[in-house]
Structures are given as structure tokens and as C-alpha cells.
Structure 1
Amino acid sequence: MTDVITQAYAHLDRQDADGAVAILLAMGGGAEAAGLLGDLLLEKGKLEEASQAFRGALAEEPDRLPCLRGLVAALAGLGRHGEAMEPCRLLLDARPDDAMGHRHMAHLMLAAGDRDAALAHAREARFLARHDLEILIDTAQVMLAADEGLSAVEMLDGALRRAHPADPALPRGRVILARLWTQLDEPGKAAAVLRAALQADPDDTGGAAAALAELAHGPAAATLSAAFVRALFDSYADRFEQELVGKLRYGGPGALRDLLLDHGIGPGAGLRLLDAGCGTGLAGAALRPVAAHLAGFDLSPRMVEKSRARQIYDALWVGDLVASMLARPAAHDLVVAADVLVYVGDLNPVMAAAAVTLADGGHFAFTCERTVEPGFILHEGRRFAHGEAHLRRAVADAGLELRHLAPFSARTQRGEPVPGWIALAVKP
């Protein structure tokens, strides 16, 4: 076995990885040789062969931790996340402080749909590898995918600022940071990162020039990304009501309550009510008297927690605006969206989804911001304003009837009323 390892390393010293692999395949050997073979095959991207080599090594020495780590990487790369879970657990049982193991487990838990566990392992990897930029880059991407986008960019930005100027991961890290900002609908910040990356790395080893060109020529968004909205409100949750009601004089929920009362929908109506984009529950509190069953959802987990604390909802969940309505056909008599459609450009998917979730005769009451343009615009406040023509067409195309549409200001900005709409549509 010693001769095999010696010959393999002799080939590696001559930069002949293929020769090393050939020696190891031809002469075999013990767990050490199989582990080295697995490492070389993994580097070459031969994941299936690498997994077999690591399994061979572990059959002889089950506690060989580098081989457990390699097996997890190979299986995860093959998309066999369920298979990778057990060796990853064994690795972390033996070495709870293994940053790479936590990094892998974060990905595996994310693939399994366990967001909380994924975040727990990502945070552990971040703590254990606070000086390993490669792991921190990967951890930031896991955090974004697990709905912690704002925390992800803050963590990666700090790591890049602390990194040694010669760290080979730095160019890639800057480009990843820019992509994270892009996914959070912050193109200006993304562009600034990419320009700085090009200045620091004139050879552009990270691909910043291509990313900058892609950013400059990308299509205009029809809506803000879920990642941006979620990060915005997760960071805003603790001061949301103080800012919105106290400073911006927000009056959307009360106005919707009065609009419904004008159309014969008042306390005791006994409706199945869906509070779409419930936030901290302001609309739910205003409209609870009309509901026999009050359900709500929001993209932001922290906002849902605030709504849950009110103890007025019969059902609450974290969910997407359109998907949540489409998943519940004919389940509601009334849907309200108070100050929610300002984060949506094209209203057609929302109106179509509302038509699906409403029972016949059900109502959709909503507020949004107003523009004189016929379509919709994304203004400097990162909120959409909608023209009358677009709004009317979206309602009609969804098969709904517009019963009420009037100018209305739900809030102020810099002391001035923000132009908006208040509307009520019905499903015939």
C-alpha cells in the first residue's frame, strides 16, 4: 500500500493527476489509497466514481472523516441529497465543529425543505469558518435561498472587507455579492460592487465584466422579487407599525373596512376572509368582525410572527401572493390586499389568482398607488404605481367585475399624500 501511495504522489509532484489516478486504479490498496483516489476523482468532476472510491475507503475505516466529507460532496453534486444525509450526519456526530460538514448539511436541509435547520447549519458554518471566504460565500447563497437575503449580503459584504487582498476567492466573492444584491432588487448596489471588483481585479478573474453587462441589459422587472420583499419586511417588522401608522399616517385598513360597509359587508357577515400580505395584522384587526374564519399569509416570516401574536387569525402561513391564492380554489368569500399591490407590477397574475380563490359572489378589496401612465411604473421608492387602464384591464381579463374604483391616498411621503387607488371587485 505504501508503494502505491508513494507512486501516486510522485505523479502528483509532476502535475500528473491522470497518472496518479491510473496507478491507484490499477494497484488498489487500503483506505488511504481509496481516499486519495476519491479526492482526485472529485477534483476531476467524476462524482459517481469518486463516491464509489470513498465508500470503499469507508468500508475499511468507517471513521475516516475526510472520506465522509468527500462522499457527502460527491453525492450532493450528483443531486442525491437523501443519500448524502447519513454520511453528513456521521461526519457532524464525529466532528461537531466541522465547518464544511455544516456547509453541506445546510444545503441538504434546504433541499429537504427544512428552512430552519438549513439556516441553523449555515449560521454554524459561518461561525466556524469566519476566516474561510470560500465557505462564507457558499453560506451566503444558502442564507439567501432560505429567505435570509439581507443577512446574507451583510455577512458576505463584511467578509469581503476583512479578506486578505490576495485571497483567491475574493474576485468570485465580489461577483456573488453583486448577484445577491441583484436578487434583492438592488441593481445600483450590485453595479457599484462590480465596478469596484473590476478596479481591484483588472484581469477580471471573477467575471465581473460579464455580470455588469448582464445587469445593464437585463429586462425591466414586472414585479419586485420575492427575496427583496421578504428581506425588506423581515428587517422592517419590529418598527413597521410605528413607521407606517405613526409617521406615514397609514389608513388603508380602515378605508377598506368603510368601503366594504358601503357595499353591505359589515360586522356579523360571517365571511371566509383571506388577508393577502397580512403584514403585522393591521387589516386583519380592522376586518375581523366581518369574518367567521380569518386566514392570512405574508412573504415575511417575521411579519407572520407579528400577526400571530395578535391571536385574531384562524390560520396563518408564510407564502407567495399568487401561489397562496391559486392553491386554495373557491375557498374565500372576501380577499383583502392592503398596501400589497405596490410590490407587484403586472396585476394580471394577481387578479387571476384572486378569481381562483374567490367563491362565486366573492369580493376582492384592495389599495394600490396611482400613476397617470396607462400601464405601471416602478418609482424611486421601489414601489409600483398603477394606471387606471392597466388596473381595469387586469380585473376584466380575470373575469372579475369592478364595482368600485376611486382615487385614494393610503399614506403620506415627506408629509404629502401619496396618490393611490381604492377598489372593490366581485366574482360574478
Structure 2
Amino acid sequence: MPSDPLSDYEQRMVWAYDALHHGDAVAAEAAMMEAVALVPDAAEARGALGALLRRQGRPVEAAEHFAAAATAEPVRPAWVLERARCLADAGDVEGAWALVSRLVVDRADDAASHRLAARLRLAQGDTAGALTHAREARFLAPHDLEGSVEVGQVLVDAGDPLAAAEMLEPLLAHAHPADPARAAALVLQGCAWAALAEGEKAARRWRQALEADPEDVGGAARLLAGLEAAAAAGGGDLTPTYIKALFDRYADRFDSDLTQKLRYQAPRLLRQALDAVGVGAGLDILDVGCGTGLGGVEVKPLARHLAGVDLSPRMVEHARARGLYDRLWDADLMGALAEAPGAWDLVLAADVLVYLGDLAPVFQAAVLALKPGGRLAATVERWEGEGPYALRESRRYAHAQEHVLAAAAAAGLAVEHLAPVAPRWEKSRPVDGLLFILRKAGA
């Protein structure tokens, strides 16, 4: 009596699941392959085989089986999503996006589709699109710790580690100690805190990750060792990510805190110094680290064209509301200086260089950005200890006067004005600072 292909298929699938239960992936794959040979359009066998191959790191083969499963069972969009994941794993970003872009329209309420869409948009260079999908995925599944790790990774990679750290905090507080996603979440939150220059918080999370996963699949020990090595070496400049997050958080109360609590007067002091050296009007001015535009208020009467740039998009929004600037954009200081060589009569840096250690690179960049005879006007906090500069507990650098002079000379900038000032107060005391105007040779 001839055998029944369907019955034989079902027997192979029983064998396959039994092999998986006992950890025998080789036997499971063999049984699934036999099942597929018996019934090629069986979505269950195709999908199970695709999942097994993907776990084994064979995404191209897995994608083929998920495609067959989707053809056999078109009413189940999960097969399409799994195929897209395999294509993404294999590096076929465009192929994966072609599938996912339809899924997020047809299944707008599916968090998993939005998570993959976020990852793909970031790979395509569309940071704004990645963040949109990441936030939608977070909204749709706010309590999914495993999914939140995927979302958080996109947020960190897209330059918003603060959002990742804040998203994971309550989830980790309520996570069961045995949750398999907990260790990965701890590692990721540590990475987010590290990006924000919160070294102690990062180290604490990585130590907790090691306790949760002694096998250290997430590499917490390596990350912790790197953090400790950097701390022993004295660290480096504050990261742009940290500065952006700091001022994005601070933007709404920036003006009131600075002018009332901290008695901030760096822009006014810079304007007085510029008047003292005889700077005229009709200037092309770049206000770097413009913040909410307090410096722009002071130098606007001197400007023919006033541009402002800040690392924090929320600060730029507040500056735009003043209606002072001819152009505003968010970018890092060095990139802004390099954007238009020889374009500026004046580069203003009020209370900005305190977030940099070595001033030599920025002075050299300023020389290239200035017109002949152009000026760099800035304030710093003054350092009188050992070394050219130091990072204080306030996470602001202080610079020795000798370092300012040496960096200026190395860049070919003449010191037109140098004076002690108190640009702001801190802890009810004036901050010891320096105000300087450096001039490029020429007209």
C-alpha cells in the first residue's frame, strides 16, 4: 500500500520538533528538509525551517524558506516580516526595506514591523525616519523589554541615547530577574549612559549585566574594561552626544536659569570688548554654540549677516523664535567652522569652549573660517593648576592663560584683547574666566 505524503509530512514535523526539544539542530533540519520535499507548499515546515536557519546564522537560505511560506500562506504577514529580517541580516537593506515599507502601511499597529523599519531607515542614512519608526514602536509596545532593547539600540545609534536610557529605566526597574532580555537591556542602557558621559551609571549597569548573564553574551566585561581604561588615562573631550543631550534637556529653562540664577553675562562682556577694540558694523557674524540666541541679541547691531549654529536642535528652535538670525542650523562646532572657508568677519563663542579641552584645533579651524582681518571672540573659564586645561566637576573645562596664548600663536592668530572676567556665577560665587579677541592677519 503506497504511503500517504501528508501523513509522512506530519511525521517528519513531529520528529523535527522532538529533535529541537532535545537540542539536536542537525536532526531537526534533516527532518524539516524531508517534510518540505514531501509537501513543498507547506507554510509551517517552510517557516520552521527558516527560523532554524536564521538562528544558525544562515539568513540567505532562511529568507528563501520564509518567502515560500509567505507564498503558501499570504494571509500571515509574519512570514514577510521574517523574510525581511533575514534580508537585513544578510546586508540586503534595500530588499528588506521594500518588504517592510509595505508592512508598516498595511500593519500600522505592529510594533515589530516599526522596529525593523527603524533599523533599516538608519542603515539607509535616514536618521529622522529611523527615530519616527522607533518612537512609534515604543508607543505601540511600551512594556516589551526585548523589543525596547531593539528600539533603544536605534535611538543610541541615531544620536539620542538620552531617550534610550530614559525608556529602559522603568522597564528595568520592573523586569523579572530571570527575564532573558534583562541582561541585553542592562548592557544597552550602560552604552547609553556612556554616550552621555555618565561613566558611573554606565559601569553600574554593566556590572549588573554581568551578574544577570555570567556568560557575558553582551560583552559587558569588555565595555567595563574600556571605560575603566579611559578613566585611568584621564578621558578625552566631552562627547558631542553628551553636550547635545545636556542642552536639549536644558533648553526650555536655559534663559531664566542663566540670567537669573547664574548671572550669565558673557555675551554682554564680549560686546563691550568688541566695541573697545573698534569693531564696526556691517559684519558677517557666525555665533557658534548660539544656544537660545543671547549672544545674537548683543551682536545683531554689528551684523550684516548673522548666522547661528548649535549642537542642540531644541536650542536652535528657541533661537529661531527670537527672529534675529539670518540663518540657523544644528551642527557641531568644528563642522560649522569648516562649512564656509573665509566667510566670516567675526566668530563669536560665548561660553562654548568650556566643552572642549585642547583649544588648538578650534583655533586652527577658526583661522580657515575667518576672512583676512577677521576675529574670534570667546570666553573660557580660567585654570591655574598643573597642565594646559582641566575638566572640572561641573563637566566644563577650564583653560590656562598660557594655553590660550600658545594655541593662538600656533594658529597664527594675534591677541587683540585678553582680560580676566566673570562670565557667570556658580554656587553663589563668580566664576574666574578669561575673555579674548584673536585676530587673523590681513586687511
The verdict on how the C-alpha distance between 1:402 and 1:50 changes in structure 2, with shifts beyond 3 A counting, is farther
* Correspondence 1:391 to 2:404: yes
* Correspondence 1:101 to 2:106: no
* Correspondence 1:222 to 2:215: no
Partner of 2:54: 42
Q: Alpha-carbon deviation of 1:204?
A: 5.6
Q: Alpha-carbon deviation of 1:21?
A: 3.5
* Correspondence 1:10 to 2:22: no
Equivalent-residue separation in structure 1 for 2:97 and 2:271 (angstroms): 50
Partner of 2:389: 376
* Correspondence 1:124 to 2:136: yes
* Correspondence 1:111 to 2:123: yes
Partner of 2:247: 233
User: Any idea what SS the aligned residue of 2:341 has?
Assistant: coil
The verdict on how the C-alpha distance between 1:202 and 1:253 changes in structure 2, with shifts beyond 3 A counting, is same
Q: Alpha-carbon deviation of 1:6?
A: 4.9
Q: Alpha-carbon deviation of 1:201?
A: 5.9
Equivalent-residue separation in structure 2 for 1:175 and 1:375 (angstroms): 35
Query: Are the equivalent residues in 2 in contact too, given 1:412–1:418 (CA < 8 A)?
Result: yes
Q: Which moved more, 1:397-406 or 1:130-139?
A: 397-406
Equivalent-residue separation in structure 1 for 2:371 and 2:68 (angstroms): 60
* Correspondence 1:166 to 2:178: yes
Q: Alpha-carbon deviation of 1:305?
A: 0.4
User: Any idea what SS the aligned residue of 1:272 has?
Assistant: strand
Equivalent-residue separation in structure 1 for 2:42 and 2:102 (angstroms): 18
* Correspondence 1:411 to 2:427: no
Equivalent-residue separation in structure 1 for 2:106 and 2:11 (angstroms): 29
Structure 2 letter corresponding to 1:317: W
The verdict on how the C-alpha distance between 1:221 and 1:135 changes in structure 2, with shifts beyond 3 A counting, is same
Equivalent-residue separation in structure 1 for 2:33 and 2:361 (angstroms): 57
Q: Alpha-carbon deviation of 1:60?
A: 5.0
The verdict on how the C-alpha distance between 1:97 and 1:388 changes in structure 2, with shifts beyond 3 A counting, is same
1:141-188 deviations in Å (ceiling 9; x for gaps): 222333332222111111101112210111221122112111100112
Q: Alpha-carbon deviation of 1:229?
A: 0.6
Q: Alpha-carbon deviation of 1:323?
A: 1.4
1:177-235 deviations in Å (ceiling 9; x for gaps): 11211110011222233344455666766554443332211243331111111111011
The verdict on how the C-alpha distance between 1:56 and 1:13 changes in structure 2, with shifts beyond 3 A counting, is same
Structure 2 letter corresponding to 1:251: Q
Which of residues 43, 52, 67 in structure 1 aligns to 2:64?
Answer: 52
Partner of 1:339: 351
* Correspondence 1:30 to 2:41: yes
Between Structure 1 and Structure 2, how many residues are aligned?
426
1:33-89 deviations in Å (ceiling 9; x for gaps): 433333222212222233333334445555541222112212322333333222112
Identity of aligned residues (%): 46
Which of residues 253, 256, 263 in structure 1 aligns to 2:277?
Answer: 263
Partner of 2:92: 80
Task: Please give the root-mean-square deviation of Cα atoms over the aligned residues, in Å.
Answer: 2.3
The verdict on how the C-alpha distance between 1:351 and 1:78 changes in structure 2, with shifts beyond 3 A counting, is farther
* Correspondence 1:153 to 2:165: yes
The verdict on how the C-alpha distance between 1:62 and 1:331 changes in structure 2, with shifts beyond 3 A counting, is farther
Q: Alpha-carbon deviation of 1:336?
A: 0.7
The TM-score with structure 2 as length reference comes to 0.89
Equivalent-residue separation in structure 2 for 1:180 and 1:189 (angstroms): 10
User: Any idea what SS the aligned residue of 1:421 has?
Assistant: strand
Query: Are the equivalent residues in 1 in contact too, given 2:191–2:202 (CA < 8 A)?
Result: yes
Equivalent-residue separation in structure 1 for 2:350 and 2:436 (angstroms): 10
Query: Are the equivalent residues in 1 in contact too, given 2:277–2:416 (CA < 8 A)?
Result: no
Equivalent-residue separation in structure 2 for 1:6 and 1:130 (angstroms): 41
Which of residues 329, 337, 341 in structure 2 aligns to 1:325?
Answer: 337
* Correspondence 1:294 to 2:306: yes
Structure 1 letter corresponding to 2:78: P
Q: Which moved more, 1:295-304 or 1:32-41?
A: 32-41
Query: Are the equivalent residues in 2 in contact too, given 1:147–1:231 (CA < 8 A)?
Result: no
Q: Alpha-carbon deviation of 1:24?
A: 4.8
Equivalent-residue separation in structure 2 for 1:401 and 1:23 (angstroms): 79
Structure 2 letter corresponding to 1:393: A
User: Any idea what SS the aligned residue of 2:180 has?
Assistant: coil
Structure 2 letter corresponding to 1:280: T
1:217-259 deviations in Å (ceiling 9; x for gaps): 1243331111111111011000001101111000011111111
The verdict on how the C-alpha distance between 1:397 and 1:55 changes in structure 2, with shifts beyond 3 A counting, is farther
Equivalent-residue separation in structure 2 for 1:196 and 1:34 (angstroms): 39
The verdict on how the C-alpha distance between 1:55 and 1:252 changes in structure 2, with shifts beyond 3 A counting, is same
Structure 1 unaligned runs (5+)?
A: none
User: Any idea what SS the aligned residue of 1:322 has?
Assistant: helix
Equivalent-residue separation in structure 2 for 1:307 and 1:49 (angstroms): 53
1:97-154 deviations in Å (ceiling 9; x for gaps): 2111111111222233433332222122112222221111221222233333222211
Which entry has the higher C-alpha Rg, 1 or 2? 2
User: Any idea what SS the aligned residue of 1:92 has?
Assistant: helix
Equivalent-residue separation in structure 2 for 1:149 and 1:135 (angstroms): 16
Equivalent-residue separation in structure 1 for 2:165 and 2:110 (angstroms): 23
Structure 2 letter corresponding to 1:133: L
Partner of 2:321: 309
* Correspondence 1:281 to 2:289: no
Equivalent-residue separation in structure 1 for 2:361 and 2:42 (angstroms): 57
User: Any idea what SS the aligned residue of 1:302 has?
Assistant: helix
User: Any idea what SS the aligned residue of 1:250 has?
Assistant: coil
Q: Which moved more, 1:104-113 or 1:50-59?
A: 50-59
